[in-house]
Amino acid sequence: MSSIIYTHTDEAPLLATYSFLPIVEAFAAKAGVEIETRDISVAARILAQFGLADDALSELGALAKTPEANIVKLPNVSASIPQLKAAIKELQEQGFAVPDYPEAPATPEEKEIRAKYDKVKGSAVNPVLREGNSDRRAPASVKNYAKAHPHTNKPFAEGSKTNVATMGAHDFFSNERSVTLAQDDTLSIVLETAAGETVVLKDGLEVLAGEIVDGTKLEVAHLHAFLRNALAEAKAQDVLFSVHLKATMMKVSDPIIFGHVVKAYFADVFAQYGDQLAAAGLSANDGLGAILSGLDALADGAEIKAAFEAALAAGPRLSYVNSDKGITNLHVPSDVIVDASMPALVRNGGRLWGVDGGEDDTLAVIPDSSYAGVYQAVIDDVKKNGPLDPATIGTVPNVGLMAQAAEEYGSHDKTFEIPAAGTVRVLSANGDVLIEHDVEAGDIWRACQAKDIPVRDWVKLAVTRARASQTPAIFWLDETRAHDAELIKKVNAYLPEHDIAGLEIKILAPALATAYTLERMRKGEDTISVTGNVLRDYNTDLFPILELGTSAKMLSVVPLIAGGGLFETGAGGSAPKHVQQLVEENYLRWDSLGEFFALVPSLEKYAEQAGAPAAQVLADTLDRATGTFLNEDRSPGRKLGTTDNRGSHFYLALYWAEELANQSEDAALAAAFKPLAETLRANEDKIAAELIAVQGKPADIGGYYRPDAAKAAAVMRPSATLNEALASF
C-alpha cells in the first residue's frame, strides 16, 4: 500500500508540524490516504548514530531509490559544530547516553565517535534523500499575489559603496582541475609530502564511467593576504565588513575559511593569546561567540576578552546579526548563510546592520570567486537601474543538478586541511595521476563528483520545464571553469536527445547569466536558471527573495530518478529566531505556505501510485484553498495579536473543507466534509480568539532540538474548539 511519508525535522518547521499535521491526517483519512511520519531531526540523527533511535534517514534514503517513494520533506537544521554541540548537550540533559563531541580525537574510541558525529554535521539529510534533480518555482498564485501586493525592494543610495570582495585567483575556482572518467574505476587521494612521506587522504573511492571528478585547492597564504586587503578596504571606505559563506552545507571547508576570517580580523589578539585559546579548545572555526563564552574558564579570560573588545573598537566596523544582543557577523559560522544574507542585503538597498542597529553600506566578503560574480552582477544592476519592482518583474524558476551528491555539496568526505607541504594526487586504480596540486600546510583541498545519470536527467528536466512553460532555459556554466567545461560537453551531447525545436536554450557564465536574466526580469519576462548544486541553492533564494520577499513560498519538487517523488516545502531554512519568539511570547511567525504547496503534488503522486482518485480531489481542492488563503491574506503576521502560524493553519483547514464540501467530483467526500466545513465556519471567530488568547506569555516546549511531544502539541494546538471539530470529524 502506498503512503505519504511526512518528516519531522527541526526548529520552526517542526513546531508547525505539531499544528498542521493533525489537520492533514484528518483530511487524508476521509479520502483513504495513508500518512506516516519519520523523525529526521538533528537530534534523532544523533540518537540513531548511537543505537538509541531508529535510523529513519537511512530508511528514507533506501525508499528514495524506489518508484514507491512519496516523501514530504520539511527544512532541517544544517548542523554546524556549535549547533551539534548544543543538540548533544540537550540530549544529555534529557537523559540520553550520547558522548561529548571530541574536538581532537586521539584514541580509536574518540575517532569512532567523531566519525559518527561527522555523519550528522551539515545538511546531512539532503544528499541522502535527493536521488533526483530539483525543480523549484514560484506557484502562479504566489507570483500573482506578489504582483498585487508587492513588497519593497529598497534602492541603493547614490554613491553607494557596497560591493563584493572576492579572491579571483589562488582559490577553488582558479585552481580547479577536472576529468571525465572513461570507465568505472576506484580512485585514491594521496598527499606526497615534501619530506617524502605518503599520506593516504582517501581510498576506495568508487567512480562510474562518464562521471566528472574534480580536484581543487584554496591557497591559505593568499587567503590571508586577501583578507588583510579586504579589512583595510573596509576600514578605508568606512563601510561595514561582513563575510558570507555556507558553513552549514560546505561543512568542512567553510568553517575553516570562517576561522581564518575571525583570526584575520582579530590578528593581534590571536598573535598574543592564540596558544592559550588553542590549549583551552577554543577554535576560531566555531566563531567569536564560542570563544567569548569559553573565556570565563581561563585564568586570564578577562584580559583576553578585553583584547577582543579593543580589537572590535579599533578594527573596521563589523556587520551585526543582532545588535541588541551583541552578535556580530563573526560570532557563529552558521548565522550568516550567503544564499540568504546576500539577497537580504540587496533588498535592503545594499545595507546591513551595525553595532547600534543602524544600516550602512557593506563590503561583502565572499572569498572563493566561483559564484561571487553573481552577487556583484546583481548589485551592479540595481545600482544602475534601480530596485526590482515585484509588481512587474518576471520570475526565475530553477532546474538544479543535485542528484547523488553532485558537485561541491558532495565534497565533505573528500575535503582536507592539508597537514604538510607537498603534492596531492588523485590516482586511478592502476596508479595513473588524474589530478594533482602542489600544496602548502594549511591549504584546503577538495574533490567532488557529478555522476553521468544525474547529468542526463538534469538536461532532460531542463528541456521538459522549458517546453511545459515555453520559457527560455539558461545553463549557468562557465567554460573557463574546469568542472563546467566538462559539464558543457555533456550538455551539448545530451540536448540533441530531446526535442528542442522552438525552445531558447543558452549556455552562459554565471555573471553573464545573471545580467541576462535580470534584463529579462525587468521586462516582465520569465527565465529558467539551469544550474549546478550550489547555484541551485543560491538562485532559489536570490530571485524569490527579490520577487516574493521570501524564498519560503516556493514549490520545490524533486522528481526522483527511480520514479518516486520528494516534495520539499520550499526554501527558507528552519528559522531559529521564530522558535525564540515562540518560547518568549507564544507566537510563531513561521509561514507553512511552502508546505501547503508541497502537499499538492504529493497527493497527486499518491493518486497516481495508489490508483486513488479521492487523493486527486484532495490535491485539487487544496490547491484552490491555498489560492483563497493567499487572497484572504491569512499568512502569519509579525506582531502579537495577529494571526500566527496556528491561525494560518486553521484558515487553510476552513477553506480546504469548504472546497471539499462544494466540489462535485466525489459526492462521498463532499458529504463527509460538509459538516466540518459548516462547523469551522460557524466557529471561525471563536477559534481565532482561542488561538490569539494564548499569545504574549512564555511557552514551554520541553526542548529545542528535541521538544517534548506532548508539550509541543499542547502549545501548537491551543484551540479546544478546533481540536474537538477535528476529533469528532
What DSSP line would sit under 173-203, residue for residue?
HHH-EEEE-SS-EEEEEEEEETTS-EEEEEE
- Please state, in angstroms and rounded to a whole number, the distance separating the CA atoms of residues 51 and 404: 26
Using a pLDDT cut of 70, give the percent of the chain over it: 99
pLDDT digits (tens, 9 = 90+) for 701-728: 999 999 999 999 999 999 999 999 999 9
Residue 300 reports pLDDT greater than 80 = yes
> If we measure between CA atoms, which residue out of 317, 361, 352, 406 comes closest to residue 134?
406
Report the pLDDT value the prediction gives residue 571, as an integer from 0 to 100: 58
Report the pLDDT value the prediction gives residue 141, as an integer from 0 to 100: 85
Q: What is the pLDDT averaged over residues 259-285?
A: 95
Residue 493 reports pLDDT greater than 60 = yes
Report the pLDDT value the prediction gives residue 473, as an integer from 0 to 100: 98
- Please state, in angstroms and rounded to a whole number, the distance separating the CA atoms of residues 150 and 548: 8
Q: What SS3 string covers 288-320?
A: HHHHHHHHHHCCCHHHHHHHHHHHHHHCCCECE
pLDDT digits (tens, 9 = 90+) for 417-454: 999 999 999 999 999 999 999 999 999 999 999 999 99
Residue 18 reports pLDDT greater than 60 = yes
Residue type at 223 in one-letter notation: L
Looking at per-residue pLDDT, the higher value among 299 and 512 belongs to 512
Report the pLDDT value the prediction gives residue 576, as an integer from 0 to 100: 85
- Chain centroid, CA 170 distance in Å: 27
Mean pLDDT score of the chain, rounded to an integer? 95
Q: What is the pLDDT averaged over residues 49-73?
A: 96
> If we measure between CA atoms, which residue out of 630, 577, 587 comes closest to residue 718?
587
Residue 464 reports pLDDT greater than 80 = yes
Report the pLDDT value the prediction gives residue 570, as an integer from 0 to 100: 66
Residue 1 reports pLDDT greater than 80 = no
pLDDT-based confidence at residue 249 (cuts at 50, 70, 90): confident
Percentage helix, strand, coil, to 5, in the chain? Answer: 50, 15, 35
Residue 275 reports pLDDT greater than 60 = yes
pLDDT digits (tens, 9 = 90+) for 74-96: 998 888 888 999 999 999 999 99
Report the pLDDT value the prediction gives residue 98, as an integer from 0 to 100: 97
Q: What is the pLDDT averaged over residues 622-633?
A: 94
pLDDT-based confidence at residue 278 (cuts at 50, 70, 90): very high
Report the pLDDT value the prediction gives residue 573, as an integer from 0 to 100: 67
- Please state, in angstroms and rounded to a whole number, the distance separating the CA atoms of residues 231 and 229: 5
pLDDT-based confidence at residue 332 (cuts at 50, 70, 90): very high
Report the pLDDT value the prediction gives residue 623, as an integer from 0 to 100: 94
Rg (CA), the chain: 26
- Please state, in angstroms and rounded to a whole number, the distance separating the CA atoms of residues 494 and 461: 12
The length of the chain in residues reads 729
pLDDT digits (tens, 9 = 90+) for 140-199: 888 988 999 999 999 999 999 999 999 999 999 999 999 999 999 999 999 999 999 999
